[in-house]
Amino acid sequence: MRRALIVDWGGVLTAPIAHAMQRWAAEEGLPYAETMAILDWYAPQPGEDHMMHALERGEIDAQGIANWLSDELHEHYGIAISPDGLIQRMFDHFEPHDEILNLCREARAAGWVTALLSNSWDNPYPRERWDNVFDAVLISGEIGMRKPEERIFLHALDVLGVEAAHAVFIDDEEPNIIAARELGITAIFAQDQHVAAAELRTILQA
List the chain pLDDT tens, one digit each, 206 residues. Answer: 899 999 999 999 999 999 999 999 999 999 999 899 888 866 555 556 788 899 999 999 999 999 999 999 999 889 999 999 999 999 999 999 999 999 999 999 999 999 999 999 999 999 999 989 999 999 999 999 999 999 999 999 999 999 999 999 999 999 999 999 999 999 999 999 999 999 999 999 98
Q: Which sign, positive or negative, has the C-alpha torsion 163, 166, 172, 174?
A: positive
Given this model, what pLDDT does residue 49 score?
76
CA distance 172 to 7: 10
**pLDDT at residue 47, rounded to an integer:** 56
The strand pair at 186-189 and 113-118 is best described as unpaired
Model pLDDT, residue 43: 57
Q: How far apart are CA 38 and CA 73, in angstroms?
A: 8
Q: State residue 46's pLDDT score.
A: 53
CA separation for the pair 195, 188 (Å, rounded): 9
Give the list of residues 6+ apart from residue 135 with CB closer than 8 angstroms, or none.
108, 113, 114, 115, 160
Tell me whether strands 4-7 and 167-171 are parallel, antiparallel or unpaired. Answer: parallel
Q: What is the pLDDT of residue 157?
A: 98
Q: Give Cα 141 to chain centroid, integer Å.
A: 11
List, in order of start, the domains of the chain with CATH numbers. Answer: 4-15+95-205 (3.40.50.1000), 17-93 (1.10.150)
| Region of 36 on the Ramachandran plot (φ > 0 left; ψ -120 to 50 alpha; else beta) | alpha
Model pTM score:
0.94
What number of other Cβ atoms are within 10 A of residue 33's Cβ?
Answer: 8
